[in-house]
Structure formats: C-alpha cells, structure tokens
Structure 1
C-alpha cells in the first residue's frame, strides 16, 4: 500500500519567517504538535514542533515574538512521495527517528503528512480483519486452534 492512500491531506503549515508566537498560537488553535514549514511554492523546508518551541524558545529565554520559525525549525526534512510504500516510509522513519514525514508530489510540493499514528491505525485495522477471518474458519482449522491457545504448529 502507498503512503498516498493513508496520509492526512489537510496539513497545518507555516512560513519560515513567521514568529515562534504565531507558530504556538496556530498549534494551539488547530490542536496539533507539528507544523510543516513551507516556502512560497509549498515546498517543505522544515518542521517545527511544540518541543522545538519549549526547548529552543522558552527554555532558552528567547522572545517568542522576535524569534522566527526559521531559527527553531528542523531544516531540510526527509520527505516521501505519494507512491512511496508504507514499508519504505517506515524505514525512513526508523533511520531518522521521525514520527512524521511530509508527503510531496513529483514537484516536491506538499500534499499531505504521514504520521506513525496513521501507520499504527492501518495496522490495527488489518489485524482486526485478520482476527475476524480467523474466527470464520472451519472447526479444527488454524483459526480455531489459534483461538484456543494452540499455535499453528499443532
């Protein structure tokens, strides 16, 4: 399955020259912890998180009205394209310890965001379907043995 099938299309964005205060207000209003930082052509140039605001602004005593998103964002984020497989996206997440990846089109313009939670939700749905299928098996089949605690090797 491709990233484009499960990514969230409504993405909260901010420009790099906006203030940290604007970023915090937007996160609060939208109830999100991450904003994708985009340039004028909607190409992702960074990510800013609520943790960035806490560590790089509040903890350092910076003025949130004068500190720009560019100063606190994680620049040059890893991205995936819509046709990237879920497995490949997970590998990218693992390699960089990312919980979210911007999804871009062939012109590198932002079209969505993929989060680890989106992938976990997909897996939960698939496991639920597998469980339902196992319950539908004939008596004495793998499904029944599995439910009774006897593994597939019995």
Structure 2
C-alpha cells in the first residue's frame, strides 16, 4: 500500500497569517485535529507547516497567551515533514516513528499537497492487511481439508 492509497484527500488547510482563533474554529468546523499550513507560489498548495490542536493547547492555553495575539505561523511546526504519494506503508510507519509525529502531509511530484496520512489511516491499513492475511490462512485450511477428503 502506498500513501496515495491510504491518505485522506480532503485536507483542511490554513494560511500562516491566519489567527490561532481562526485555526481552532476551522478545526472544529472540519472535525479535525490538525490543519496543514500552505502557500500557493505556483498554483499548487505547498505545505509549509502543520498546526495541531495540541500545538494550540501547549503554546497558547498552557502559556496563558491571548489567542487573538497569535498567528498560526507563531505556533505551527515548520518545516513540516512530508511523504510522497508513492511511499509505501512501511516507509510511512518508519517516518512517523522516527520523528514522533502522528500526521504526514502527502505531496505530489510537484510538491503540492495531495492528502494527509494520519496514524489512524495507518492503523486502518494494517487492519485490512491483517484481515487479508487471516482470510488467506483460512482459505488454505479449507483447501487442505477438501483436498484430503
């Protein structure tokens, strides 16, 4: 499985100049825990950062900073770690693990945003692979029983 097979293609994005309050509202409206911060220098949405609900809690609420005083660019993680549409599940897991992140924007060959792969997407893909393995083992057992009759 490749990133393009498991990623969410409808990614909620925001500009670095947007307020943190706008980011929180967009997360609530989109029912998401992260926004990909993008720029559009050549028509492609290029990921330049990521802001999560945890970033807002840790950088704004826990620090008792007025949310209206900060922009997304002040609290986002940048540069953002990405993966390509062609990277395989194993490579994605290795990236998530080695960098201790839960989400990776997926980029196309032009560096434009193509999707977002989250830990939940990886779990779903692994679950599907395990179900397929279980089905293969079950079929093997059935085939063996029939062959021995």
Query: Larger radius of gyration, structure 1 or 2?
Result: 1
> 1:37-88 deviations in whole A, cap 9, x for unaligned?
1113411111101011111011112121221000001111111111111111
- Work out whether 1:106 is the aligned partner of 2:98: no
Q: Which runs of 4+ in 1 moved over 4 A?
A: none
Match of 2:73 among 70, 74, 84: 70
**1: distance between equivalents of 2:55 and 2:97?**
20
Unaligned ranges ≥5, structure 2: 145-149
Unaligned ranges ≥5, structure 1: 142-154
Counterpart for residue 96 of structure 1: 99
Deviates further, 127-136 or 83-92 = 127-136
| Structure 1 residue 136: Cα displacement | 2.4
SS in 2 for 1:137: helix
Counting matched residue pairs gives: 142
TM-score (ref. length: structure 2): 0.88
> 1:72-126 deviations in whole A, cap 9, x for unaligned?
0111111111111111111111110111100011111111001111111011112
Q: Point out the structure with the larger helix share.
A: 2
SS in 2 for 1:35: strand
- Identify which of structures 1 and 2 has the higher relative contact order when contacts are C-alpha pairs closer than 8 Å and 6+ apart: 2
